[in-house]
């Protein structure tokens, strides 16, 4: 499962390093951090709306959009999945020690 997230992360980073004409990802990078962060917020709201009143297919679609836009934001900020994994592992370790 995480292989797909890594694949997508690498694809996004490739677009960042080697822009492709007409690429939606590159349009986001060109728009800058504020626009990318705004898109993450919009997608998060759409996830909530889907969770509260739409079916499974819409919920999966909206969550997929949120994951994608979050990965674009992470690339823009110079963060990697491994950074998030390390923080989650740290938090989990703190909880299991208590």
Does residue 95 carry a pLDDT above 90?
Answer: no
Could you read off the pLDDT of 15-69 as tens digits, one per residue? 999 999 999 999 999 999 999 999 999 999 999 999 999 999 999 999 999 999 9
What integer pLDDT is reported at residue 21 of this predicted model? 92
pTM attached to this predicted model: 0.90
Degrees to nearest 5, angle at CA 37 with 34 and 41:
135
| Complete domains list, the chain, with CATH | 2-97 (1.10.287.1080)
Residue closest to 73 by CA, chosen among 24, 39, 42, 23: 39
Does residue 1 carry a pLDDT above 90?
Answer: no
Does residue 94 carry a pLDDT above 80?
Answer: no
């Amino acid at each position: 499962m995480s292989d797909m997230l890594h694949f997508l992360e690498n694809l996004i980073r490739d677009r960042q390093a080697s822009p492709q004409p007409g690429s939606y990802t590159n349009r986001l990078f060109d728009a800058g951090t504020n626009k990318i962060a705004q898109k993450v917020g919009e997608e998060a709201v759409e996830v909530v709306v889907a969770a509260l009143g739409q079916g499974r297919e819409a919920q999966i679609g909206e969550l997929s959009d949120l994951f994608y836009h979050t990965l674009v934001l992470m690339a823009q900020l110079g963060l990697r999945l491994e950074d998030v994994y390390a923080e989650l592992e740290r938090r989990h370790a703190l909880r299991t020690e208590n």
